[in-house]
Structure 1
Amino acid sequence: MNSVPLWALVLTLAVLILCSAFFAMAETALMAANKHRLRLLAKRGHRGAITTLWLLERTDKLLSLVLIANTLLNAMATALVAALAILLFGHEETVLSIATAVVAFLLIVFAEISPKIIGATYPERIALASSGVLRVLMTAAKPVIWFVNLFVGVVLKVLRIRRGHDLHQHRVSPEELRSIVLEGGNFIPQKHKSILLNLFDLETISVEDIMTPRAQMEALNLALGVDELKHELTTCYHNKLPVYEGEINQIVGILHVRKAVALLNQTDALTIDHFRELLTPAYFIPQDTGVFTQLQYFQENKERLGIIVDEYGEVQGLVTLDDIIEEMIGEFTTSVPGAARSDSFNWDSEGECLLEGSTPLRDINKRLGLAFPLDGPKTLNGLMLEQLQEIPDSPISLKVANCVIEVIQVHDQAIKVIKLKRPLPHKRLA
């Protein structure tokens, strides 16, 4: 030891600390790296990403390598500092204690905390750069890692812990995917982010939430006669219309308006039977069918329109393929009556909004930023009737979800017009 220059010992100590810092930084970076980004880079042929994923698939061996290396390096650094202290100051217990404290401080600051913070700050960059070195070291140290893991396996067996249990069952849940999208920041355009979030919502809503209620359905009644049918066909807004006879629950089929218009132009003496011949079978949907499930059914059955019925077979409304697509990507500019009306409501300058009682609660929550409950009635009228437990016969107001709701007009056993007042922001207590 006396023949070794002092500078060489100090340099060796610095190298040991740097090597220990490398392993700590690389381990933290690998554990914190974004696995989805690494897989994307690996698919593009990035060698560093491929090597990093290879290491992450062998986490037990990787951690064994890092811990063995760090333990040896830290022990060597401690021994070297003790040797330096003895060389310079002799066998003084106080000096040895101070030297031990100094090396512990150096290891904590320069070989643990600082490199791990750096590794967590730049995980992908450091993981990609260090993966090649770690793979070579893991291959070289394979016998040592195997020997150490023999004893680790015995300890885990005694503790009844299965090594690698559930490692391949780590799947990203819909909630985690939603969080990833929300945290996408500037990497995902706002419109794309909105579409992705809407796709997640399709799993939680049913066709009843997005249907056109039967009171607003545009349908043809064969019992009205040919002249009335002609008038309704020339003024309708849709290309496909449900057709019933006498009562809305008696759906007899779906009429393609284009075919009917051609019939009007070609036939002089029209009868109801001419219209019956153009009908196609109606496609019925239970009201609790999930929206995403219904989208798949539409695709499998080559349908674009379905009649929604309840458990008693009574018609509740209808849903179309366009309704589901609009739920995913937003509303289109259409000529549907009420589409413009549903787009137009907003808070006025006084913080009020007039709405029809049939307005869906989901639309209100989206457009006005409210939080009306969606697990019960689907419309504003239904919500009010549930809260009041009766049909009001005079103007009345109440508060639901921090929003004041005022009944303006009641007609035919239903609330027709309602005024909402914007909730005041919560004030924090000093």
Structure 2
Amino acid sequence: MNDIPISMLFGILAAMLILSAFFSGSETALMTLNRYRLRHLVKLNHSGAIKAHHLLQRPERLLGLILLCNNFVNNFASSIATVIAIKLYADEESSVAIAAGILTIVMLICSEVTPKTLAAIKPEPLAFPAAWIYTLLLKILYPIVWFVNLFVNLLLRIVGVDIKKNRHNALNKDELKSIISDAESLMPTRYQKMLMGILDLESATVEDIMTPRNEIIGVDLELPVEDIITRIKTSPHTRLPVYKTSIDRIIGFIHLRKILALLNQEDFDKQTIINLLDKPSFIPESTPVHNQMHRFKHEKIRIGLVVDEYGDVQGLVTLDDLLQEIVGELITDDVAVRTQSDGSYLVDANITIRELNRVTQWSFPTEGPKTLNGLIIEFMETIPETGTSIRLHEYLLEIIKRDENSVKLVKFLPRK
């Protein structure tokens, strides 16, 4: 190398630094590619994405190729820098030390940090062209890469890592939720909540979403006919359970469309109602929501009573309740949670924990009590008086309204 002009040596050194920057940056770019966007581009037949996806199927082989090339150019650059230093300075020992120090700083800035930072910010412009180059290099250097990976795989097996088993890891539900949350700028909030609802279907049961027993509106056949007619005319629902004395003695469901036209007839009586009843459907409280949706569809029914292991009625669930578990606010406007001007929330204590979490994006536990009222009573071990302030799972709230046996309305204070 002593016969090579100093200007050419500097040119070779610059070329090595550029190559080093390319290998370092492309490594980061390929490894930080969004795997889901990459699969989408592959489906669109993007040539660079197809090459990159193929290379990433065997990351150990790709990394072996990149590091092989990068180490070669870095070592070659070090040799060239040493030759330049010896030519420029008479003191050979000090010149080598100076060259090593300067080269380390230059490579760190120009060939490592800068290209890797750029590649991490915008990986695709570098990763896709680099995939073509690496595909060609892999064919040329395959024997060397195979030999290197042979020892790498052997060392990994020694420490208990199986590459084939750990190559593809499916996302769990919580990770999918994180992806949906991170996509806030790409979709409306209501669609995010819908997707969250779909993911929660696997763990939700009808007990989580049912209308509690004490809130069921129905027709008691033991009441006078005049009271029954008034109850039917003022009902906010289109389907009502019909029972005798107690909801546990239900005899069927009545659809208002079938009976409203008959209310004003002179011969209208309780038997008229009985003749129009649909057979009641009973649902075990532990039934998963997605299973009950299939049952409603298969049996062509829209309403059922939720019962416990003893057969006692615990609540009522409708097809609309199941759909709202998915689409939430797209079906009805939720008035159970009202935002105040000071940033606080007025919340109906009968709201289910799942619905409260979905509307507010909070994280109350869904195991145990199903409603906010139940959660407060379990925490306090009593029914708190109006004006009581408590910290419930890191959330500050005040009891605004209660009755003899339950909390009715609470106020959540703004979080600091």
* Interval containing the TM-score (normalised by the shorter chain): 0.7 to 0.9
Counterpart selection for 2:306 from 300, 305, 308: 308
Aligned length: 414
Note the alpha carbon deviations across 1:109-130, whole angstroms, 9 max, x for none: 2222221112111122321232
1:280 alignment counterpart = 278
1:22 shift after superposition: 0.6
Identify if the C-alpha distance between structure 1 residues 395 and 239 changes in structure 2 by more than 3 Å, giving closer, same or farther. Answer: closer
Say if 2:201 is the partner of 1:210. no
Identify if the C-alpha distance between structure 1 residues 320 and 150 changes in structure 2 by more than 3 Å, giving closer, same or farther. Answer: same
Aligned mates of 2:109, 2:349 — CA distance in 1 = 66
User: Aligned ranges for residues 136-147 of structure 1 at < 5 Å?
Assistant: 136-147=136-147
Aligned mates of 1:165, 1:357 — CA distance in 2 = 48
Say if 2:233 is the partner of 1:234. yes
Aligned mates of 1:62, 1:256 — CA distance in 2 = 66
1:154 shift after superposition: 4.0
Q: Which segment drifts farther, 220-229 or 114-123?
A: 220-229
**1:236 counterpart SS class:** coil
**2:279 counterpart SS class:** coil
Note the alpha carbon deviations across 1:179-223, whole angstroms, 9 max, x for none: 112112422222222322333344444322322122221222334
Aligned mates of 1:255, 1:125 — CA distance in 2 = 64
% of aligned pairs identical? Answer: 34
**1:285 counterpart SS class:** strand
1:51 shift after superposition: 1.0
1:3 shift after superposition: 3.8
Aligned mates of 1:118, 1:346 — CA distance in 2 = 43
**2:163 counterpart SS class:** coil
Identify if the C-alpha distance between structure 1 residues 86 and 188 changes in structure 2 by more than 3 Å, giving closer, same or farther. Answer: same
Identify if the C-alpha distance between structure 1 residues 385 and 344 changes in structure 2 by more than 3 Å, giving closer, same or farther. Answer: closer
1:421 shift after superposition: 4.7
Identify if the C-alpha distance between structure 1 residues 68 and 410 changes in structure 2 by more than 3 Å, giving closer, same or farther. Answer: closer
1:38 alignment counterpart = 38
* Preserved CA contact (<8 Å) 1:251 1:282: yes
* Preserved CA contact (<8 Å) 1:372 1:400: no
Aligned mates of 2:320, 2:6 — CA distance in 1 = 80
User: Over aligned residues, Cα RMSD in angstroms?
Assistant: 3.4
Give the gaps of 5 or more residues in structure 2: none
Aligned mates of 2:191, 2:185 — CA distance in 1 = 11
Aligned mates of 1:147, 1:370 — CA distance in 2 = 53
* Preserved CA contact (<8 Å) 2:343 2:413: no
Aligned mates of 1:229, 1:111 — CA distance in 2 = 84
Counterpart selection for 1:399 from 387, 390, 411: 390
Identify if the C-alpha distance between structure 1 residues 350 and 317 changes in structure 2 by more than 3 Å, giving closer, same or farther. Answer: same
1:348 shift after superposition: 7.2
* Preserved CA contact (<8 Å) 1:309 1:315: yes
Identify if the C-alpha distance between structure 1 residues 9 and 365 changes in structure 2 by more than 3 Å, giving closer, same or farther. Answer: closer
1:73 shift after superposition: 0.9
2:413 alignment counterpart = 423
Aligned mates of 1:383, 1:73 — CA distance in 2 = 64
Q: Which segment drifts farther, 216-225 or 41-50?
A: 216-225
Aligned mates of 2:378, 2:158 — CA distance in 1 = 60
**2:250 counterpart SS class:** strand
Identify if the C-alpha distance between structure 1 residues 221 and 118 changes in structure 2 by more than 3 Å, giving closer, same or farther. Answer: same
Aligned mates of 2:107, 2:50 — CA distance in 1 = 32
Note the alpha carbon deviations across 1:340-373, whole angstroms, 9 max, x for none: 8x458554779795x7764556666666888766
**2:286 counterpart SS class:** coil
Aligned mates of 2:237, 2:252 — CA distance in 1 = 15
2:177 alignment counterpart = 178
Q: Which segment drifts farther, 114-123 or 157-166?
A: 157-166
1:329 alignment counterpart = 327
Say if 2:408 is the partner of 1:410. no
* Preserved CA contact (<8 Å) 1:347 1:422: no
1:398 shift after superposition: 4.8
Identify if the C-alpha distance between structure 1 residues 108 and 243 changes in structure 2 by more than 3 Å, giving closer, same or farther. Answer: same
User: Aligned ranges for residues 114-193 of structure 1 at < 5 Å?
Assistant: 114-168=114-168, 170-193=169-192
Identify if the C-alpha distance between structure 1 residues 190 and 395 changes in structure 2 by more than 3 Å, giving closer, same or farther. Answer: closer
Aligned mates of 1:294, 1:264 — CA distance in 2 = 33
Give the gaps of 5 or more residues in structure 1: none
* Preserved CA contact (<8 Å) 2:184 2:192: no
Aligned mates of 2:180, 2:111 — CA distance in 1 = 35
Identify if the C-alpha distance between structure 1 residues 196 and 390 changes in structure 2 by more than 3 Å, giving closer, same or farther. Answer: closer
Q: Which segment drifts farther, 111-120 or 45-54?
A: 111-120
Say if 2:55 is the partner of 1:55. yes
Identify if the C-alpha distance between structure 1 residues 357 and 351 changes in structure 2 by more than 3 Å, giving closer, same or farther. Answer: closer
**2:247 counterpart SS class:** strand
Aligned mates of 1:166, 1:350 — CA distance in 2 = 46
* Preserved CA contact (<8 Å) 1:361 1:374: yes
Aligned mates of 1:182, 1:359 — CA distance in 2 = 23
TM-score computed with the length of structure 2 as normaliser: 0.85
Amino acid at match of 1:423: L
* Preserved CA contact (<8 Å) 1:119 1:126: yes
1:406 shift after superposition: 4.1
1:167 shift after superposition: 0.9
